[in-house]
Structure 1
Amino acid sequence: MDDLRPSPAHVPHRLLADPGFVRALRERDFAVVFAMAHDAGISFNRIAEACALKSERVSQIARGAGSVTALATVERIAFGLRIPGALLGLAAQPWEDTAVLSTESRHGDDPMKRRNLLRGALAAGLTAPALAALTAARTDVDQTLSPDIPQDLADLEAAAESYGYGYHGQAPTRVLADLVTDFTTLRPLLTVPQPAPVRARLCRTAGQMAGMTAIVLHDLGSRRESRSWFATAARAAAESGDDQLYAWVRAREAMVPLNYGAPKAAAGLADQARHAAGTRPTAAAVLAAAVAARAYAFNQQPEQARAAIAAADALMDRLPEGERSDTWLTYSEQKHHVHLSHAYTTLGDTARAHESQQRALQLSAPTSTMTRTLLHIDAAACSHHDGDSEEACRRTVAALTALPDGYRTGLVHRRAQDLYEAIPTQHHNERAVRELRNVLAA
C-alpha cells in the first residue's frame, strides 16, 4: 500500500532527539510539529504533499488556527514525515528500523514469539523500540474496538437537544446567535476523516442545528435565509442516512411558503416529507401530515385537507411516548393542536378551531410567547369568519400590543397582516380596523 502514498519528507534526526519536538509529538501538538519541521527546512507545501493535506490547512495548523484529531490524519503525518509511530502513540510503521514487534502478518499468531520479542525489547528499559513494541500490541486490539467519539460531538448533540426546547422566553435573535455559534463548531469535525458512524452522528447534529436555525429565521420573517438553511439541513440529513430527520426538515421547510403565501409549494414539500417519513407513527410523519392539511386548506382543497387531518390524527394516536415531548424536534399534543387550529381556521370550521385553540393554550407554557400569540390571532380570524370583523381586529391588536418588541415581526406580523387583508375594503375606515392597521404599520 505504501507505494500508493505521496513520497515522504524525512524530518532530520536531530529533531527526533529534540525534547521540545518529542513532547509536541507525544501531545500531538501539530502546531509545534509543523512549525519546527518548517524551521528545519521542510516547507509547508512539502509537508502538505508528503502528508496528503492541503497546504493552507498545514499553514493553519502551524499557526494554531487548526487542529488534527482524526487518527487517519495522524497516521498520514507519521508516514509523511517519517516519524516513528511510538512517538505519536501509534503502532510501529513497516519502514521503521526499530519496529521490533509487528502484527500477525510478520510473526503469525504465535503468542510465544510475541512474548519473547516483547521481553527482548523491554530488557533495556522503556526505550524507543520498547515503546514501539508496546504501542503495536495495544494498537492491534484498539483498532478492532469501536472508534473514539470526539468529545465535542457529545457536547454538540447535547446542545442540539437543548435548543430543541424552543425560545423559553428568550428573544429569537438571541437564540439565533447562540445556535449559529454552536453550529460553526461542527466544521472542524466535519472537515477531517471520521469513522462512518461518527460521520453520521455529526451530519445528524448538523441537520438538526441547521433546521432549527432555519425555524428561527422563518419566525423572524427572513424567508430567503430560512430556505437556504433548510437546504443545508436537508443535505446534512440526507448524508446522515436518517430518513425521519430528512422528513422533519422538509416538513418544517414547507411551513415557509405556507406562512408566506405559496400554498402549492408548501403542499409539494409536505408531500415529499410524508413520502420520506413513511407510514410509521413518527414525529416527522405526524408533522408532515398536519402541515400538508394546512397547505391544502389554503390551496382551496378542503377534501384533501380533511383527509390529511384524519391521517395526522391517526398517526398522533399511535405516536410513541418518547416522541411526544414538546420540542422542535419531536411532536407534542400541544403542537398538534396548534397545527389543527390553523388548518380548521383556514377551512372556516371555527367550532373545531376553537377546540384546538383552547387545548393548545392549556398545554402551552406561559413562556411560549410566539405560539400563544399565533393561537390568539387564529381565534381572532375565527371571529372574522363568523362575521364579527370588529372583534377580530380588537383581539389581534390586543395580542400584538402584549408582545415584546422583538416578537412583533416575521411570522406574527404576517399572520396579523393576513387577517387585516381579509377584511373587506369598505370596512377599513372603521375604528377597530384602523387601529389594527396602525399597529401593523408601527
Structure 2
Amino acid sequence: MTAIVLHDLGSRRESRAWFATAARAAAESGDPQLHAWVLAREAMVPLNYGAPRAAAALADQARHAAGTRPTAAAVLAAAVAARAHALNHQSEQARAALTAADALMNRLPEPERSDTWLTYGEQKHHVHLSHAFTTLGDTRRAQESQQRALELSAPTSTMTRTLLNIDAAACSHHDGDTEQACRRTVAALTALPVDYRTGLVRRRALDLYEAIPAQHHHEPAVQELRDISVG
C-alpha cells in the first residue's frame, strides 16, 4: 500500500524500493497470485513515469506468475501489459494483451470483482482500457471506457476522475482538436487543490504537452497547458 501511495505522489525511487520489499515478501509467501499482483502494480511505476519497456518486462513477469486462471492479478497484469506495449508503439502486442485482459475479465469470479485493493472490478478495468486505447489512438473505444469508468467512479475518486479527463483530452488532440485538448486538461487540473497537482496527474498532463508538435507551442492554450503542467 505504501508503494502505491508513493507511486501516486510521484516518488518513483521510494516506490520501487517498497515494491522490491513487497515482491520479496510475496514470493516468500508461496502465493503466486499475490506475487503476480505486486509485480503488476510495480510495473505501473515505470509505465507511468517514462519507462514503458521496463513496465512491459515486469508485466510479463506478472502474467507468467499469475498463470492462465481468471484471477484479479491475471487481468491486472494483462491490462498493464497492454498499456506498456501501446506506449512502446507495439500495437499488435497491445491489442493481443487487451484481448487477453477482456477474456479473463469475462471469466473473473464475482468475489474477485469487489472493490478492494487486491481485487479487480469493472471500474478498474475501464480505467486501464481508457489509457491503453487512448495511447493506441483508438479514440472511440477509449471514450467508451472513459464514460463507463466515470459512471462507476465515486465523486470522491479525485485522481482517477482527473486522469480519465486527461485521457479524454488526449483523444481530442489525437482527433485534431489540440486547443480543446489543452483547455480540457487545464480545466481538469485547475479543478484540483494545488497540492493534488503533482505526481501522476502532473506527469500525464506533461505527457500531453510533450505530444503536441513544437510549432504549436506558441499558441495560448498550449502555453497555458505548459504553465500548469511544468509549474
Normalised by the length of structure 2, the TM-score is: 0.98
Q: Which 4+ residue blocks in structure 1 deviate beyond 3 angstroms?
A: none
Cα displacement (A) at 1:404:
1.7
Distance, in Å, in 1 between the alignment partners of 2:146 and 2:157 is 14
Is 1:410 the counterpart of 2:199 in the alignment?
yes
Contact kept in structure 1, 2:16 and 2:42, CA below 8 Å: yes
* Cα offsets for 1:164-200 (capped at 9, x unmatched): xxxxxxxxxxxxxxxxxxxxxxxxxxxxxxxxxxxxx
- Give the deviation of 1:347 after TM superposition: 0.2
Instruction: Name the counterpart of 1:63.
Output: none
Question: After superposition, what is the alpha-carbon deviation per residue over 1:244-274, rounded to whole angstroms, capped at 9, x for unaligned?
Answer: 0100000000011111111111000000000
Report percent identity of matched pairs. 85
Whole-angstrom distance in 1 between the partners of 2:222 and 2:125? 31
Q: Deviations over 1:192-221 (max 9, x none)?
A: xxxxxxxxxxxxxxxxxxxx1111100100
Q: Please say if residues 206 and 230 of structure 2, whose CA atoms lie closer than 8 Å, have aligned partners that are also in contact.
A: no
1:308 aligns with 2:97: yes
Larger radius of gyration: 1
Q: 1:395 aligns with which of 157, 160, 184?
A: 184
- 2:37 corresponding residue in structure 1: 248
Structure 1 residue 325, shift from structure 2 partner? 1.4
Q: Which residue of 1 aligns with 2:163?
A: 374
Point out which structure has higher relative CO (alpha carbons under 8 A, 6+ apart): 2
* Cα root mean square deviation, aligned: 0.7
Instruction: State the alpha-carbon separation in 1 of the partners of residues 12 and 185 from structure 2.
Output: 23
Tell me the residue number matched to 2:14. Answer: 225
TM, length-normalised to structure 1? 0.52
Aligned residues: 231
1:25-424 aligned at under 5 Å gives the runs: 212-424=1-213
Shift of residue 441 of structure 1?
3.5
Q: How far apart are the structure 2 equivalents of 1:384 and 1:436?
A: 13
Asked whether 1:438 is paired with 2:194, we answer: no
Structure 2 Cα separation of the partners of residues 231 and 311 of structure 1: 27
State the match for 1:177 in structure 2: none
Asked whether the 8 Å contact 2:166–2:184 carries over to 1, the reply is yes
Alpha-carbon distance in structure 2 between the residues aligned to 1:406 and 1:281 = 38
Report deviation, 1:240: 1.2
Q: Could you give the per-residue CA deviations for residues 309-338 of structure 1, whole angstroms, max 9, x where no partner exists?
A: 000000000101101112221101000000
> Which digits, 9 at most, give the CA deviation of each residue in 1:91-148, with x for residues without a partner?
xxxxxxxxxxxxxxxxxxxxxxxxxxxxxxxxxxxxxxxxxxxxxxxxxxxxxxxxxx
Distance in 2 separating the partners of 1:378 and 1:302: 18
